[in-house]
């Protein structure tokens, strides 16, 4: 008889050694707030950065997992590839390493191709095929996952990435890609419509890509694994297994409209448009006359081969949730950082162990003992994926729209 454990993982973060990242994104803050969120596995992040890697090497390691004060962390990092062949190409890739020793070998090989010390997410002028071959020459257990696959600038399917498919990026090595990361601006139903997801039976992974440890960022997207033991080998098997529904059992997604690139638009011109509105303008900004930044919903329509509502046989369940702080801020007309928001948040999390438990599991009759009717109702609506969101665009986050409603669902 096999006994399985459930792991809620956020495996795409950035450390304090990445640009535009909190200087407190260290192991202490990441693991402390991961527990608050309800995660039980995170990434060390940015293992290519020399200073950060020195810190990683001091951690205990068992079965390909490193531990900070007993909290498990997987070795993953994000790489940026920018190169030219027949056209300009750019893509971000997540790299999973099976051990500290292999991560050291990756760093050694990449240090001969460019600098690693200027940013936690280094840039290389290497093609996707050459990069994949380079990684596989080190270890067959290194996994590569295209990051935030739909975002305009560096998603493999993004409107400005230069790619339309896995094959265009990886050629005859495409079968080595087993999964893609959904990203904040896309969700599984959108990606199920793509030819690649169906042809290659790609698994969909969700992680936060967080640059800070706050619980409205960390773990806002995550993947739920059900595995026999906590080890790199089991996580890798789950990612590579395209048939067994008991490996990746679900993902946690924000509403894609919450993401920064869902709709078309121009941030500087304060212009945000639906795909239909943008197409009527030939995708030109009505204020400055320059091309709009084409968002994810528009890009999906350009690439989709399946109709809206199509669901492949290998599809996994997903939960569409906004972070608890976002709900509190919207309903009480405050900010996520405010003392009021924190007081309400801490009261609920103290009572029910962690945020994800509050969002996913706690019954309304239990919640009402610690929150008013309006908030309990919104938590239930959030659990059902019924919170409306004003779409984000061109680097601007979407905003929850919560009408006052106090009747419990």
Q: Give the Cα separation of 297 and 278 in Å (integer).
A: 11
Residue 96's DSSP bridge partners are 76, 143
- From the number of C-beta atoms within 10 Å of its C-beta (0-12, 13-18, 19+), residue 125 rates as exposed
Let me know whether 19 and 119 are in one domain. yes
Cβ atoms 87, 75 nearer than 8 A: no
Q: Residue 387: which of 368, 361, 409 has the closest Cα?
A: 409
* Residue linked to tokens 């240090």: 111
pLDDT on residue 409: 40
Query: Do 163 and 251 fall into the same domain?
Result: yes
**For the chain, which residues score pLDDT lower than 70?**
1-3, 244-246, 403-409
The pLDDT value recorded for residue 2 is 54
Q: Into how many domains does the chain fold?
A: 2
Residue 184 in domain: yes
User: Which residues on neighbouring strands pair with residue 203, listed in sequence order?
Assistant: 179
67 lies in the same domain as 207: yes
Return the CA Rg of the chain: 21
CA dist 129 and 343 (Å) reads: 50
Q: Does 57 lie in the same domain as 158?
A: yes
Q: Which domain holds residue 352?
A: 323-386
Q: Is 144 in the same domain as 49?
A: yes
pTM for the model stands at 0.96
The reply to whether 403 falls in a domain is no
Asked if residue 279 belongs to a domain, the reply is no
**Terminal CA-CA length for the chain:** 40
**Residue-level pLDDT at 407:** 42
Q: Judge if 251 and 156 occupy the same domain.
A: yes
Verify that 52 and 196 share a domain, yes or no: yes
41, 137: one domain:
yes
For residue 408, being part of any structural domain is answered with no
> Where are the alpha helices (H) located in 4-73, listed in sequence order?
27-37, 50-56
Domain boundary among 241, 257, 273: 257
Do 251 and 361 lie in a common domain?
Answer: no
Say whether both 372 and 223 belong to one domain: no
CATH of the domain at 253: 3.20.20.140
pLDDT at res. 51: 98
Specify whether 142 is located in the same domain as 30. Answer: yes
In a domain, 303, yes or no: no
The answer to whether 68 and 136 are in contact (CB under 8 A) is: no
Return the C-alpha torsion angle 114, 116, 122, 124, nearest 10: 10
Place of tokens 């239930």: 380
Q: How far is CA 34 from the centre of its chain?
A: 15
189-232 tens-digit pLDDT: 999 999 999 999 999 999 999 999 999 999 999 999 999 999 99
Q: What are phi and psi of 397, to 5 degrees?
A: -65, 150
pLDDT at 242: 77
Q: What are the Cα distances from residue 328, in Å, to 120, 304, 333?
A: 33, 36, 8
Q: Is 144 part of any domain?
A: yes
> Does residue 404 belong to any structural domain of this protein?
no
Based on the fold, state whether residues 335 and 227 are members of the same structural domain.
no
Assess if residue 30 is contained within a domain. Answer: yes
């Amino acid at each position: 008889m096999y006994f399985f454990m459930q792991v809620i993982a956020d495996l795409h973060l950035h450390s304090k050694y990445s640009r535009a990242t909190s200087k407190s994104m260290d192991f202490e803050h990441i693991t402390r707030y991961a527990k608050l969120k309800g995660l039980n596995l995170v990434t060390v992040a940015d293992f290519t950065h020399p200073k950060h890697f020195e810190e990683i090497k001091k951690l205990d390691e068992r079965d390909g997992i490193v531990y900070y004060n007993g909290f498990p962390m997987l070795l993953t990092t994000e790489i940026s590839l920018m190169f030219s062949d027949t056209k300009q190409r750019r893509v971000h890739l997540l790299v999973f390493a099976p051990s500290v020793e292999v991560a050291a070998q990756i760093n050694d090989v990449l240090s001969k191709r460019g600098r690693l010390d200027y940013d936690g997410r280094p840039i290389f002028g290497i093609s996707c095929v050459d990069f994949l071959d380079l990684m596989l020459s080190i270890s067959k257990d290194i996994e590569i996952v295209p990051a935030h696959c739909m975002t305009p600038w560096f998603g493999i399917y993004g409107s400005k990435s230069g790619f339309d498919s896995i094959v265009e990026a990886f050629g005859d090595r495409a079968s080595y890609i087993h999964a893609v990361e959904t990203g904040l601006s896309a969700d599984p139903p959108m990606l199920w419509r793509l030819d690649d997801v169906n042809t290659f039976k790609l698994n969909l992974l969700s992680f936060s890509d967080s640059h800070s440890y706050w619980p409205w960022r960390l773990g806002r997207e995550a993947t739920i694994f059900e595995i026999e033991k906590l080890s790199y080998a089991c996580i890798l098997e789950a990612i590579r297994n395209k048939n067994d529904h008991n490996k990746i059992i679900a993902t946690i997604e924000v509403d894609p409209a919450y993401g920064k690139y869902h709709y078309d638009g121009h941030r500087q011109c304060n212009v945000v448009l639906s795909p239909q509105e943008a197409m009527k303008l030939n995708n030109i900004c009505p204020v400055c006359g320059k091309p709009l930044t084409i968002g994810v919903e528009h890009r999906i329509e350009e690439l989709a081969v399946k109709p809206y509502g199509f669901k492949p046989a290998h599809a996994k369940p997903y939960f569409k949730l906004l972070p608890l702080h976002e709900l509190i801020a919207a309903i009480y007309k405050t900010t996520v950082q405010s003392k009021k928001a924190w007081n309400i948040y801490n009261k609920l999390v103290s009572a029910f162990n962690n945020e994800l438990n509050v969002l996913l599991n706690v019954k309304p009759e239990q919640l009402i003992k610690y929150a008013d009717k309006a908030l309990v109702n919104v938590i239930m609506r959030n659990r059902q994926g019924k919170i409306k969101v004003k779409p984000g665009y061109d680097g601007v986050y979407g905003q929850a729209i919560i009408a006052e409603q106090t009747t419990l669902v």
